[in-house]
Homo-oligomer: A and B are copies of this chain.
Amino acid sequence: MKNYKKTHSCGALGMKDEGRRVTLMGWVHRIRDLGGVIFVDLRDREGITQVVFNPEKDGELSRRAKGLGGEDVIAVVGSVQPRPGGMANPQMATGEIEVIADDLYVISKAKTPPFVIEDGVKATEELRLKYRYLDLRRPEMQRIFRLRHRLYQSTRRFFDEKGFLEIETPFLMKSTPEGARDYLVPSRVHRGRFYALPQSPQLYKQLLMVAGFEKYFQIVKCFRDEDLRADRQPEFTQLDVEMSFVDEEDIFDLIERYIERVFREVLNIEIERPFRRLPYRESLLTYGTDKPDLRFGMEIRALTDLDCWKSFEIFRRIVAGGGEVCGLRVDGGAGASRKQVERWEEIVKEGGIGGLIPVRITREGVTSPIKKHIGDGGITKIIERFQGKIGDLILVLAGEGEGLFSAAGGLRLRLAQHLNLIDPTKFILAWIIDYPLLTYDNGAKKFVPVHHPFTAPVEEDIHKLGTSPGEVRARAYDLVLNGQEIAGGSIRLHDRKIQEKIFRVLGIPQGEAKSKFGFLLDALQYGAPPHGGIAFGFDRLAMIMAGKTSIREVIAFPKTTAALSLMDEAPDRVSPAQLKDLGLTIKKKNIT
């Protein structure tokens, strides 16, 4: 190695370099023997250059080149030449030239990889995760991590310009589980006691506001010990932002500018501002979810108020029992086969809804199995509600309130996918606002926070805390992008008395509130400014920007949904000495 020094990347050379002597270093991407002439596609992170070993020039060198294998790491010295007439490859950045080699040094021989390193790789995800360092060599993965790198830099430049200070908060903190489970870290020095890894820096960023920093941000790892769903990770990255002396409008304005900036700088895409604001209830009723995909319409419309249901016994009973009726209009869908409609019906049945009733508007008239129950008058009312036109299909369903709209929302998404209504190059953002502060947990038989217990209530609603807590609105907001929640935040409580009141409503006894959050309650007494903020799921933002559907694709070394690292086999057993140091024993049945 000593006598070789990389002079150029494998993506850098072109006709401008004709005749230049270069040293390239990289991986053997492909090797071909064309009548004794050896062609090596040499790859590094910047691209691929074709290297030629000609036996007429140097027989010994060509023989050595012939012995190369895929993924060997080599250094090549040679001169840049235009490819011979007609051999240029316009698909390749360096396709006009090749390097005629006169020296070769094999830095590192490679065993045959367990899968072919190329985009569209066919290996299972398990195998790719076990050999993640090979999977990451794929050009697509290199593209993703370059994008993520640019996203970090663009993000920090933006918040720096806006006067935000980057401040690191602790990873070893007190366990204050609210919502998800904490990951615990046993203390050796204080045996029998534990730190917890942060689920978010929420408390610390509020303390930074009490400390007078006014504008804080951080891109930081957070941890939740959950039973993992497909798109969650035990450790994930958060962009965390907090500001003092602000209200919702300041945060909306800041974050809309942030999103505009990163989409412009990272993807060269212009995002429309201001973002739509959608009240929580309206979002549920119109899209069946508080994470609506707004890249297409097909809004759900309520039909409960139509009086035609009186003559349709099944629906009459549902409505009489407090249930609701709603529907969707599928533009140009009148020709959908009965079988197709049955498959769609399966989707809502999975959501616990009894069935799906089609209303087809055709040139020949309207057909529907409920026509005989509700008559032409009823049908007309439905069509009017949807402004249906010839060729459209209206799908009607009924059931219990939220479950009904949620099922309709699920159907809406599946229909859009099936009918190709979603433009993957579009990025549509919206704020979901007017969340309730609290929701009644029927299992726990108490109110729990919709966001977290530090969220401020709308001032006019504070008086309802004692009497009808479920009706108190929160000063909270979520940011939704293409059907996914990418950020959530709120204006926080900065008044100790109201914070204590909230703890009472949540059924957290004063002693517990004090032992868990005493330092925050203390801090609120010493001059707390009004403040609020937001936190982004940074992995998810990166995922959507990279056009991927799993956050595992945008994390260098992700874990499986079973929280395993297949590469290093973590979590693993540890030595008895390590456990002894911590004063812990593993319950017998768990010793493996």
- Which residues of chain B come closer than 8 Å to A184, judged between CB atoms? 185-186, 574, 578, 582
A213 touches B45 (CB 8 A): yes
Given contacts A45-B214, A166-B153, A211-B137, contact A570 B174 (CB under 8 A): yes
Which stretch of A108-116, A299-307, A466-474 is in the interface? A108-116
A562 touches B237 (CB 8 A): no
CA distance A273 to B187 in the complex (A): 44
B133 touches A207 (CB 8 A): yes
- The answer, yes or no, to whether A183 is at the interface (CB within 8 Å) is yes
B181 touches A188 (CB 8 A): yes
A142 touches B27 (CB 8 A): no
Scan residues 505-527 of chain A and give those whose CB is less than 8 A from a CB of chain B: 519, 522-527
A213 touches B173 (CB 8 A): no
B186 touches A186 (CB 8 A): yes
Scan residues 102-144 of chain A and give those whose CB is less than 8 A from a CB of chain B: 107-111, 113, 131-134, 136-137, 142
Which stretch of A76-84, A376-384, A481-489, A551-559 is in the interface? A551-559
- The answer, yes or no, to whether A275 is at the interface (CB within 8 Å) is no
- The answer, yes or no, to whether A71 is at the interface (CB within 8 Å) is yes
CA distance A24 to B581 in the complex (A): 54
Scan residues 546-582 of chain A and give those whose CB is less than 8 A from a CB of chain B: 555-557, 559, 562-565, 567-574, 578, 581-582
CA distance A170 to B586 in the complex (A): 25
Closest chain B residue to A589, Cβ basis: B583
B570 touches A235 (CB 8 A): no
Per-residue CB contact flags for chain A residues 447-487 toward chain B (1 = under 8 Å, else 0) read 00000000000010000000000000000000000000000
Pick the contact of A573 from B156, B183, B192, B587 — CB < 8 Å? B192
Given contacts A145-B165, A194-B574, contact A133 B45 (CB under 8 A): no
CA distance A314 to B581 in the complex (A): 46
Given contacts A44-B212, A557-B204, contact A234 B569 (CB under 8 A): no
- The answer, yes or no, to whether A258 is at the interface (CB within 8 Å) is no
- Which residues of chain B come closer than 8 Å to A585, judged between CB atoms? 584-585, 587
Per-residue CB contact flags for chain A residues 190-211 toward chain B (1 = under 8 Å, else 0) read 1111111100000110011011
B27 touches A527 (CB 8 A): yes
- The answer, yes or no, to whether A61 is at the interface (CB within 8 Å) is no
- Which residues of chain B come closer than 8 Å to A109, judged between CB atoms? 527
CA distance A270 to B529 in the complex (A): 40
CB A305 to nearest CB in B, in angstroms, measures: 37
- Which residues of chain B come closer than 8 Å to A578, judged between CB atoms? 175, 177, 181-182, 184, 194
- Which residues of chain B come closer than 8 Å to A570, judged between CB atoms? 172-175, 195-196
- The answer, yes or no, to whether A73 is at the interface (CB within 8 Å) is yes
Pick the contact of A168 from B136, B237, B559, B587 — CB < 8 Å? B237
- Which residues of chain B come closer than 8 Å to A563, judged between CB atoms? 172, 187, 189-190
20 contacts between A and B (CB under 8 A): A2-B459, A6-B245, A27-B527, A73-B529, A107-B529, A107-B530, A132-B207, A133-B523, A145-B165, A170-B557, A170-B565, A184-B574, A185-B185, A187-B571, A192-B587, A193-B573, A196-B570, A204-B557, A519-B568, A583-B586
Q: A27-B212, A207-B557 are in contact. List 11 more A-B contacts (CB 8 A).
A: A44-B214, A108-B495, A110-B527, A132-B207, A133-B210, A137-B211, A149-B165, A167-B556, A184-B185, A184-B574, A193-B572
